[in-house]
Amino acid sequence: MSISRNQIEDKNKRHLGPHKHDYDYLRDQLQTKEVDVDAIIGKISAFQVAIPSWALGAGGTRFGRFSIGGEPRNLNEKIIDIGIIRSLTKATRAISLHIPWDIPQDAGVIKELAAHHGIVFDAMNSNTFQDQPNQKFSYKFGSLAHTDEAVRIQAIQHNVDVINYGVALGSKSLTIWLADGSSFPGQLNFQKALERTSQSLKEIYGHMPADWQLFIEYKPYEPQFYSTVIQDWGTSYLLANECGKRAYTLVDLGHHLPNTNIEQIVATLMMRGKLGGFHFNDSKYGDDDLTAGSIKPYQLFLIFNELIYGMSSKAIKNPEPAWMIDASHNLKDPLEDLIQSLEAIHIAFAQALLVDQVALEEAREENDVARCQEILQDAFRCDVRPLLREARLREGAALYPIDAYRTMKIRDVLIRERGASGRASGL
């Protein structure tokens, strides 16, 4: 299944008049503030976010999983789903694969299919938090940090395999997230576990091609409940530094304790050129993996404000981070959910682009706290959605992607093609 340009133009027809009205009004408003509207629209179009292969089926909790019907049954169908999202939004052009959930059987064929849909392969994700069938050693008590060298070697080899799959697909990076840690005080020697992790990561780093990057993800708790070996950005940063220049910290929004100032973490990492990857999601209590911007849109905006400052700063040599959605839950149609995440990310990005950075810096220098808040919230409260729609219109995407998705009855088509009870591989 794929969506033609004609189908999208047809769906856009009835929205064109109202859109033009909204867009012209906002453009005039912004131009009186000397905002370069076309430049912002260009930046919105250029801001592309990768979709993880595990977010296309119904997500689950440890209590259950409810099929939504028409779920992609294999990697080919996952790529087709991302092609659908791409056609509707033009906000994504990459898939992030998880191994072993999505092992490409024939890299050439998969690459060709992806290229047909305008999709490339973003960061590869390894998995040493689950045991696989026929695996020699168990990861029950850890992987890269395991006390037994044989288990560590197995986990390192898995990461090397993932790199090799990625090379065949044209990926350029590896993301490592570890479940290693402990659930009970005294269970783990913290120093030895961290040292073993460092050694293992260095070995994996040594296996990467010279043009590859390593992203080290952190998380304070879960699945272990007392300690996680890579618990926070500081630990990740330390390990990335020990690995070398092409190792970076990856920030997953849900991997923080409640009320952590994530925007400050982003700023600090960018100041040192060590922010490599970014996982978008939202949460209320923990690693809830909810739709980006669904709970704390202001926080997302503040994070983007730091990202934009970090990316525009000439003093810092931070490469543009690898942007990815990492959300998964069990209520919404995953394709609608991903469209909503992409929309929320673009909204926060566009709002942050509207922040008058010069005025903000002046107000900061003068310690005019009230003015600082006015400047930030003036941008945050601007309804930028007409800019997003205009960006999509110019790229041949849908003015209202979810409306188009629903009126085209895409889920019904997928259910007809794939069945009502299929289950996507993944969480």
The site for Mn ion (CB under 5 A) is made up of 252, 279, 326
Toward Mn ion, which CB reaches closer, 252 or 343? 252
Q: How far is the CB of 177 from Mn ion (least distance, A)?
A: 6
Distances (CA, A) of 108 to 111, 112, 115, 169, 285: 5, 6, 11, 7, 42
Paired residues of 215 in beta bridges: 175, 248
CB of 54 to Mn ion, least distance (A): 10
Beta strands in 70-165 (DSSP E): 94-96, 120-121, 124-125
Q: Which is nearer to Mn ion, 252 or 282 (CB)?
A: 252
Identify the H or E element spanning 279. Answer: strand 275-280
CB of 322 to Mn ion, least distance (A): 12
Of the two residues 251 and 363, which places its CB atom closer to Mn ion in the complex?
A: 251
Contact yes or no for 291/281 (Cβ under 8 A): yes
By C-beta, is 62 or 317 nearer to Mn ion?
62
Least Å distance, CB 324 to Mn ion, is 8
Is the Cβ of residue 129 or residue 190 nearer to Mn ion in the bound state?
Answer: 129
CB 137, CB 154: distance < 8 Å: yes
| Rounded CA separation 381/255 (Å) | 27
CB 368 within 8 A of CB 324: no
Q: How far apart are CA 307 and CA 371, in angstroms?
A: 21
Nearer of residues 166 and 254 to Mn ion, judged by Cβ: 254
**Phi/psi of residue 215, each to 5°?**
-110, 125
Cα angle: 349, vertex 355, 360; to 5 degrees: 140
CB of 95 to Mn ion, least distance (A): 15
Q: How far is the CB of 52 from Mn ion (least distance, A)?
A: 8
Ranges of H-type helices in 90-189: 107-116, 149-169
Closer Cβ to Mn ion, 218 or 405, answer by number: 218
- We find the least distance from the C-beta atom of residue 6 to Mn ion, in angstroms, to be 37
